[in-house]
Amino acid sequence: MNAKAVDETFSNGFEQLTLNEVILETKLFNEKNVNVKECELILAKLVYLFNHDEPMTEDQTSIIFFNLTKLTQNDDETIKSLLYTALSYLTSFSSFCMITNVISRDLNSKSEATRIKALKMLCHVIDSQNPIQLERNLKINIVSKTSWISDAALQTSINIFESSHEILRKCQEEISQVLFGSKIESVQTKAFILTKLLKQNDNVSFVKTILQMIKTPDSMTEALSVLLLKEIRLMIVRDNLQIKDRELMSKFVAFIEGCLLDTSDAVFIEAAKIYIGVNNIENKRLEKLVKHLNEFISCGESIYVYIGLKLLRGLSQNPQRLPLFKHVPDLRSLLDSSDPLILEYTISILIKTSKPEELEEVLDQIYKLINKIPSYLWKEIVTFAVDGAKQSNSTAKSISALLINSIREHSDVSLRIMSSETLGQLSLENSSIRRTVLNFFTEYIEDSTSSELSIIMIEFIGQIMRLEKSPEKY
């Protein structure tokens, strides 16, 4: 019984308890033939007080601890469970290592619940463990046919890795056995985490393990597949595999493409995050992925809409992928969303993928939302403006109208300065908007309350007028 279960069971009956009363009751543990029910009740009282942060002196802790040790030979499962729960609150006690032998013995208990409790307690007495005995106990419990025991043994191994990594290296065969043989999600993932820890200084061996894993994707649980994909993604970026190891990269891509067909949304999403960033994949091979993302967006559930847009945004960052957006339905309706992240990703995608004839309407919609747009997104819009204006005169005019409106209406001076600098630069590069910008700047500075903004506009006015045939009328 854990602390939460004790609270739920006895919360009404234990509210008036005092620590001294319960300490006196623990003397019962010293009797030769203890009353099991009475012991269970006293242990439950202790756990209740511990769980409610009852303050204890060193002397009180000592009395409680040594009285508790009298119950370590008792094989009643409820007593054993409550005993370990109570002891878990006393791990900082100076003599706690005295129960090392008790824990070592219980690691081989016939009771599965007791073995699990002992495994969880093992990390608190690790310094006083016999290395050979510890190795043997870990190996036996890691490959236990009972998944809860195997899980607890792996979690304990992770917890003691820093202090016992040399012992754990001798358990690699057993860890590998459950990594490739278990069908239990938590067991597989913890075995993988432990494998990574053990091979953190041997990248070649770790890569071999990953390659062995991706040969049998059907043997992996959803959680392990996601964890493995995250690791592959990290390796691709960290080791620059797209350039430095194309053979390994091709093996990873084959595995990733298989994961894109997985029925699990979690696996698909993690695979998609990697796939959209692979450079040498033809757009045609990405069409199914885009179709799947469209389904996410059209389902209406905010979390899926968000994920679909986030991944599409990643695609839109690569100019080579822009043709794929002909397969994406019109996203402009999402500009009405009240979710700031959905709004942000929609704007980011639309400013890069809208056709010139659609851009003016899109920018008008964006302008209406200008006070909802965070400054970092506005920087992205402004950056796009410089490139987008080069595509056509109509695009340049649409963008300049947006920038002019933002300067007039937005309350953030830094945003207006950014828009002014971009607008001025665009006017120098595109003659179709030059006079419009010049007229706006000369009119705006008359009533401007920002000296910094006025100086920027005056500087651009001077540069633009050098390009005008009749500057005197300004």
Quick one: pLDDT at residue 2? 59
- Quick one: pLDDT at residue 387? 67
102-105-107 Cα angle (round to 5): 110
State whether the Cα torsion 123-129-135-138 is positive or negative. negative
How many angstroms separate the CA atoms of 284 and 8, rounded? 58
Instruction: Please count the helices (runs of H) and the strands (runs of E) in the chain.
Output: 26, 0
What's the rounded Cα separation, in Å, for the pair 354 and 361? 10
Per-residue pLDDT at 472: 62
Contact 274, 234 (CB under 8 A): no
pLDDT value at residue 229: 96
Instruction: Give the per-residue pLDDT at 76.
Output: 87
Look at residues 259, 177, 252 and name the one whose alpha carbon lies nearest to residue 226.
Answer: 259
Quote the CA–CA distance of 314 and 332 in Å, as a whole number: 18
Mean pLDDT for each 10-residue chunk of the chain (474 residues)? 59 78 91 88 91 88 92 88 91 90 91 92 88 93 95 95 93 95 95 96 93 92 95 89 86 93 92 91 92 92 94 91 91 88 89 79 80 76 69 77 84 85 88 89 86 91 82 60
Query: Is the distance from CB of 379 to CB of 415 less than 8 angstroms?
Result: no
Record the tokens describing residue 241, joined without a space: 């595999």
Sequence-distant (≥ 6) Cβ neighbours of residue 454 within 8 angstroms: 445, 448
pLDDT at 397: 82
How many Cα atoms within 13 Å fall on the side-chain side of residue 367? 19
0.85 surpassed by pTM: no
Report the alpha-carbon distance of residue 86 to residue 422 in Å, rounded.
67
Position of tokens 């300049």? 400
pLDDT at 6: 60
- 48, 17 contact by CB (below 8 A): yes
| pLDDT for res 390 | 66
The DSSP 8-state label assigned to residue 145 in this structure reads S
Contact indicator for 141, 149 with CB cutoff of 8 Å = yes
pLDDT of residue 192: 97
